[in-house]
Amino acid sequence: MALSTQPYKGARDFYPEDKRLQKYMFGIMRRVAESFGYEEYDAPVVEPLELYLAKTGDEIVNEQTYAFTDRGGRQVVIRPEMTPTVSRMVAGRRQGLAYPLRWYSIPNLWRYERPQRGRLREHWQLNVDMFGLDSLLAEAEIIQVADGILKATGATHDMYTIKLNSRTLMNYILHDYLQLDSVQSHTIAKLIDRMHKMPHEAFVAEVDAVFTPSQRDSGASNKLIGLLRTKTIEHLPEVIRQSSPALELQELLRVLKQAKLTNVVFDLTVMRGFDYYTGIVFEVFDENPDNNRSMLGGGRYDGLVGLFGVEPVPTVGWAMGDVTLQKFLEGHDLMPLLRPETDVYAVLIGNVYTDAQRVIGEMREMGVNVAVDMTGAKIDKQLKTATKKGIHYVLFIGEKDLKDEQYEIKNMLTGVAERHSVARIISIIKDYRSDD
């Protein structure tokens, strides 16, 4: 039985062309996050099981993690998300950190589940968090970071929509306005989370079933359905509109509008799956009809750091997966033309390998990436290799070139070849590389 060449189920091999795209996406994430002053951190891939038991839903821990017992009998998990880890790190040094703390990371995460479109077992996820600021300006800033990253890919505001909601507003509506108990509220919240995946009649029927007969008679069920259709805060009933979470949402919308985010809307149906959110929640939706999904989401979760037995630290954050971003780029024709890392392929003519080293070495010292063909193959064969590798420039080095100190540099895309000194060639390559 031959060994399989396939990667592990639900995980991906990154061949150089795949890795190149990943480097491009991560590069944008890093550049934009750092432009807002966010610092990169990382942590071990393996965490103790308890870290997740404290906050995440049972199903995630019990059925959707890679969990095992290590040789010392410790129960551990390959991290399925980064939020507990970063909360742990902040709690560990909370007194020595400078707040507001701006941190980001691009961890590799694993979940044990059946792969499907856009959801694998292994993925990379950008996490952007701000700790220590209990102000709407924190939400506003991290949303701007998200917007900045998408714009840096070349996306425009018509390609995605930023949808805002508030967990506290939902609590107010469900508990105070509709008078539901906590079990009913929880069930309704989960239903709202799924409402766009089911026919409207089915949704209405399921919502109805949650209400008691007397609640239905008083019209509470219809009120909720009506509320969920509301497209702006202004159209909410007066009592709700004057509640403090609604006023807060309105303020955030105003701040974001001032920051020129034209694609931000209020959406009462945005729930987010996790229970740990405590305030504003938001999601960014892809407007591509073929890929209508949430590609990024987050919100305020003030309670997590406090789980480590320290003073609570107010926190906002969001996360975005590499697979969803890639789907977004593909769907909107935003995939970049990526060049190979190698700038120049050196074709050797005759037995000049040793003498060519001084030319090649000089180029490398000046920051030009040069791959040398030392196969001794015929010229056409060496050129074919360069073409196949996708390298844009070929440098010919033969005895007469070494003697003249003039070398032919050929652009493989245009077919144009010129003879120059090494110094001139280096500057041509650098100019070419910088006009990305």
43 binds RNA (CB under 7 A): no
Contacts of residue 128, defined as CB under 8 A and 6 or more positions apart, other chains included, come to 33, 38, 103, 104, 142, 145, 146, 298, 317, 318, 319
Inter-residue contact 69 to 78 (CB < 8 Å): no
Kindly indicate which of the ranges 38-46, 151-159, 258-266, 393-401 contains the residues binding RNA, using the contact rule CB under 7 A.
393-401
The three-state secondary structure class of 417 is strand
Which residue, 246 or 425, is less far from RNA as judged by CB?
425
193 binds RNA (CB under 7 A): yes
119 binds RNA (CB under 7 A): yes
435 binds RNA (CB under 7 A): no
Inter-residue contact 237 to 136 (CB < 8 Å): no
What span, in angstroms and rounded, lies between the C-alpha atoms of 414 and 428? 14
Q: Smallest distance, Å, CB 255 to RNA?
A: 25
| Residue of 389, 14, 435 lying closest to 372 (CA atoms) | 389
Which residue, 85 or 221, is less far from RNA as judged by CB?
85
194 binds RNA (CB under 7 A): yes
x/- contact string, 130-169, with RNA (CB under 7 A)?
----------------------------------------
| Residue of 278, 308, 281, 276 lying closest to 296 (CA atoms) | 281
Q: Smallest distance, Å, CB 140 to RNA?
A: 21
57 binds RNA (CB under 7 A): yes
Which residue, 308 or 318, is less far from RNA as judged by CB?
318
Q: Smallest distance, Å, CB 57 to RNA?
A: 5
What span, in angstroms and rounded, lies between the C-alpha atoms of 395 and 407? 7
Q: According to CB under 7 A, which one of 10, 132, 148, 154 is a site residue for RNA?
A: 10
Torsion on CA atoms 421, 424, 429, 435, rounded to nearest 10 = -160
**How do strand 294-300 and strand 407-411 relate by DSSP bridges?**
unpaired
In this structure, the number of other CB atoms found within 10 A of the CB of residue 372 comes to 17
Q: Which residues bind RNA (CB under 7 A)?
A: 6, 9-10, 57, 59-60, 64, 80-83, 109, 111, 113-120, 123, 125, 190, 193-194, 197, 272-274, 297, 319, 321, 323, 349-350, 378-381, 383-384, 387-388, 394, 396, 398-401, 408, 410, 412-413, 415, 417
